């Protein structure tokens, strides 16, 4: 599957340190977009588990 405009935008936000998954989901909810993590990923054609707020970060 090719990259979507949503995936590119989310990658820029996350990689640039502007927001994290839990903050993004909270911001969506503030504006009335209340979907589960999985539904939002499907709707926006994002990579699976991208918005998983329970992911562990491993720093090398």
Residue 18 within a domain: yes
Domains identified in the chain, total number:
1
| Distance, CA of 29 to CA of 5 (rounded, Å) | 21
Residue 50 within a domain: no
Residue 10 within a domain: yes
**Under 8 Å between Cβ of 55 and 21:** yes
Residue 51 within a domain: no
| Distance, CA of 17 to CA of 39 (rounded, Å) | 24
Question: What domain range includes position 38?
Answer: 5-43
**Tens digits of residue pLDDT in 6-53:** 999 999 999 999 999 999 999 999 999 999 999 999 999 999 999 988
pLDDT for 54: 80
Residue 21 within a domain: yes
Please give the DSSP secondary-structure letter assigned to residue 34.
-
pLDDT for 32: 95
């Amino acid at each position: 599957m090719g990259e979507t405009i949503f995936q590119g935008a989310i990658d820029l936000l996350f990689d640039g340190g502007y927001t994290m998954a839990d903050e993004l989901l909270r911001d969506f909810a503030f504006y009335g977009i209340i979907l589960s993590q999985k539904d939002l990923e499907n709707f926006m054609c994002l990579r699976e588990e991208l918005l998983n707020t329970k992911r562990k970060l491993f720093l090398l």
